[in-house]
Chains A and B, each alone.
Chain A
């Protein structure tokens, strides 16, 4: 097997036996990147010298650390000290944070090798990784298709075998939806489980950092490293994280799986629906029971999300003004109408933000405006608590909930760019988990006739990630969808 195809667990095993070294692995991954990235464009930054230096440094002090020598790619939304961190936006051009996000500190302490920054929708605004200022990422399974988004780069690089693990962020499905479309495993942890310090905020009350991997044990391993209380994030919950990967077990006998009627209704593509029915059969065959449940307020989730998320985003993005860092417009001369300061703001933001960012800033600004605040924002908060209430009710009847991750498989590049509403609807099945704060995962459960991956979503009670991993593990022990790699990945790179 090629080094670039090994999972983190396989790499660890090989390191232990002296079969390979971090330097060798990184070089193999560079070869994969050289061959694949000109086609899929998953990375926006990769400092090979720094990566090899880190590998060398680790090799000089080899000791038992959970991610010793494991390369992890980082979504360009997380601050890495001294490396460009731009959220794929022109407005952060040249910005190198003077500090590390907490999750980056945790990765470094665990012995990981930070393996470049990955492409994304600008400020995570999108479901296709097409709104990036660096241009789109392609789906490794089919290069005319989008990889999903916004963590499209982080999912594509893991799928294509450029790196075994990556970090993404999920505000409305931004880890799970691209994981589904790229045929990898991606977790959105419970809100408060993972520190947001150093995650450039999109919607503060919805954002979570999460792991992306090729199988459940790898995903669980990365999840347990990053899930730790952080006093620098007031929304981080002081709660112990179980050693997920060590506690994995595939016996799901007697578990009750909720199947929400609303998630298998109109709009779900027949291929997706079919794969899900097969998956449910598999899980029942493993001893689980299913029960039909209802999440009646699901139909309001997208509308609700597109008030709450842009409102918070319009506020979070106010700081990008050209004063301290990032892009500053040099457009001159200034107009007499506003004066130099206001014109600097206007031109910087006009030239620095892309169309989708501007759309969301306008939506959010409007929703928070005096006279509209009650009608939009306050009402959205009420609906949000109804949606959360749906899950509270549902979890009285079941242990976890099984749904498709996305209504369709990966759509064509450019297909939905001009139609924001259809783009927004591709997150219809993932958004509710963010609004409710509950954890959710996507894992591969089949392929459509074009060979595009289909994702299965598992949702659970807050802080019940272990159950999610166990159900996913049981499923992967009984199936081989997660072992399939895109044809593109099979090359002579190792």
Chain B
């Protein structure tokens, strides 16, 4: 039987606010344990939460960027469970009146654009972190993270392959970065993802037994875990067996999923309205203000790059995935308006440099203005493409002025006809066999002669001119 895959993702994103969601403590990552705490985020008796307006604004901004409806009234609820990293043994979260619902995110798949529904986005507080001691008997708790604002973004079960899930996460990260609400770094824990996956006979509408997968620490791990589950469930169903509805953990070393140990009882979280926080009215004015401050979203920018700069979908996709890269691209265009050329260099040599040095575009020393200058030098024939390849890493690393650097390093292209003609003469004289071959119709031999000129000039000769001069000389003279 042929099966189709149904995937929904539940993503937690830490909002990058200066202070925590219900108190004034800082949210810095990596500080000494329990130094970013106060009676409120420690859940000390008598302490009370007060909503951080900045976190609430950022949450609304994120929901708007995901095309969600913003509720007029929202409330917070308490979600109860006992765990030592949860200081009050309940989490302030949102249950039946989340501040936003019904959004969507566009992802690019092979067939084009696909819209993934967003069921809801709500705001809650993060828990602390447990550290288990080597003695096996003791655990320590660090509450620095407790109370960090967390967005829970729940998708509809609209994804039909691990690839689509990967594309969704990539796009979600791009959106969150565009609106500057989170750095979405899975390794630092600022983005966490649980996946729900089931298989069903192709063409049917119902949902099969759902498996929840946890413990993935990168987008690639999410994709790999989902692929593992697709195969596992497919094999079971093809054998006529049933899939057990359960929670499974991804093992990043062994590359497989295992059922979560212990009884996975269905928790009764005993949600009830948080009595310490009143209902919140979200004014339409505030929503309008936040909406008007939203930047162009990656999907719109991608479309614009295709229509305005005539880039391919693929190129536009790569350039707009990272807001800083797209900004850089457009800044280069201000001084050097050749989108195709700029895109090629950015996506080729420059991205390769970034990935080799593990840097981002904002960390390199070469300004967009200098890249524009360097490309103009190439267009004007001052340097060749080959020299360009040579100088870019230097410019990226040291931030020199391209013109000055080319001059200083003596890398300017030789376009002087007289000078080149003399060199051409020397090369012809030194390579009679190649001249012979060329005249016998072997076009390849010309390349060898061009190479000879280039060697003599250490790559600086203007290649078009060398070609032209060689051809003229060989085609018109018999000597």
Contacts and interface: CB of A to CB of B under 8 A. Distances in A.
Nearest to B272: A368
A231 B50 contact: yes
B317 interface: no
B45 A79 contact: yes
A196 to B, nearest CB: 6
A365 interface: yes
B354 to A, nearest CB: 45
Nearest to B89: A318
B402 interface: no
Contact of A235 (B47, B82, B276): B276
Nearest to A205: B275
Contacts of A197: 46-48
B460 interface: no
Contacts of B84: 321, 323, 341
A155 B251 CA distance: 62
Interface in A310-336: 311-312, 314-315, 318-321, 323-325
A319 B48 CA distance: 13
Interface in B75-94: 78, 80, 82, 84, 87-90
Nearest to B141: A323
A315 B78 contact: yes
Contacts of A368: 80, 270-272
A85 B45 CA distance: 9
Nearest to A323: B84
B116 interface: no
B268 interface: yes
Interface in A206-260: 231-235
Nearest to B262: A339
B368 to A, nearest CB: 45
B14 to A, nearest CB: 23
A314 B89 CA distance: 11
B82 A234 contact: no
Given A231-B50, A345-B82, A319 B45 contact: yes
A319 B277 contact: no
Contacts of B276: 201, 204, 233-235
A318 B272 contact: no
A319 B39 contact: no
A200 B47 CA distance: 8
A264 interface: no
B268 A97 contact: no
Nearest to B42: A324
A324 B87 contact: yes
B46 A315 contact: no
B51 interface: yes
Interface string A422-463: 000000000000000000000000000000000000000000
B447 to A, nearest CB: 74
A311 B272 contact: yes
B409 to A, nearest CB: 63
A370 B268 contact: yes
Contacts of B88: 318-319
A97 B45 contact: yes
Interface in B308-325: none
A153 B271 CA distance: 35
A369 B268 contact: yes
B254 to A, nearest CB: 25
A290 to B, nearest CB: 36
B272 A373 contact: yes
Given A315-B80, A318-B90, A196 B48 contact: yes
A365 B80 CA distance: 10
B259 interface: no
Contacts of B137: 340
Interface in B259-307: 268, 270-272, 275-278
B277 A234 contact: yes
Given A200-B46, A324-B87, A318 B82 contact: yes
Interface string B56-98: 0000000000000000000000101010100111100000000
Contacts of B82: 318, 321, 345
Contact of A233 (B42, B48, B141): B48
Given A311-B272, A321-B82, A234 B39 contact: no
Contacts of A97: 39, 44-46
- Size category of the binding interface on chain B: 20 to 34
Contacts of A99: 39, 44, 47
Interface in A89-148: 92, 95, 97-99, 101
A205 B274 CA distance: 9
B208 interface: no
A274 to B, nearest CB: 40
Contacts of A200: 45-46
A92 B313 CA distance: 64
B43 interface: yes
Contacts of B87: 319, 324
A234 B46 contact: no
B141 A95 contact: no
Contacts of B78: 315
B399 interface: no
B393 interface: no
A232 B48 contact: yes
Interface string A323-362: 1110000000000000011000100000000000000000
A377 interface: yes
B46 A101 contact: yes
Contact of A232 (B50, B141, B270): B50
A29 to B, nearest CB: 26
A318 B50 contact: no
Contact of A98 (B39, B49, B89, B278): B39
Contacts of B50: 231-234
B94 to A, nearest CB: 15
Given A97-B39, A315-B78, A79 B90 contact: no
Nearest to A78: B46
Of B45, B275, B278, most buried by chain A (CB within 10 Å of CB) is B45
Contacts of A204: 275-276
Contacts of B49: 234
A199 interface: yes
Nearest to A326: B45
Nearest to B266: A370
A431 B259 CA distance: 50
Contacts of A85: 45-46
A369 B272 CA distance: 10
Contacts of A161: none
A235 B137 CA distance: 42
Contact of A319 (B89, B270, B275, B278): B89
Nearest to A320: B45
Given A79-B46, A323-B84, A234 B272 contact: no
Nearest to A378: B272
Contacts of A172: none
A234 B45 contact: no
Nearest to A204: B275
Contacts of A203: 275
A91 B186 CA distance: 39
Interface string B233-277: 000000000000000000000000000000000001011100111
B326 to A, nearest CB: 40
A203 B137 CA distance: 36
A312 B46 contact: no
A365 B270 contact: yes
Nearest to A321: B89
Contacts of A377: 272
Contacts of B271: 368, 373
> Nearest 4 CB-CB pairs, A to B?
A318-B89, A204-B275, A368-B270, A205-B275
Given A85-B46, A232-B50, A324-B141, 20 more contacts: A98-B39, A99-B44, A197-B47, A197-B48, A198-B47, A203-B275, A234-B48, A311-B272, A312-B272, A315-B80, A315-B90, A318-B80, A319-B87, A319-B89, A323-B141, A324-B87, A325-B44, A340-B137, A368-B270, A373-B270
7 contacts: A85-B46, A87-B45, A97-B44, A205-B275, A319-B89, A321-B89, A373-B271
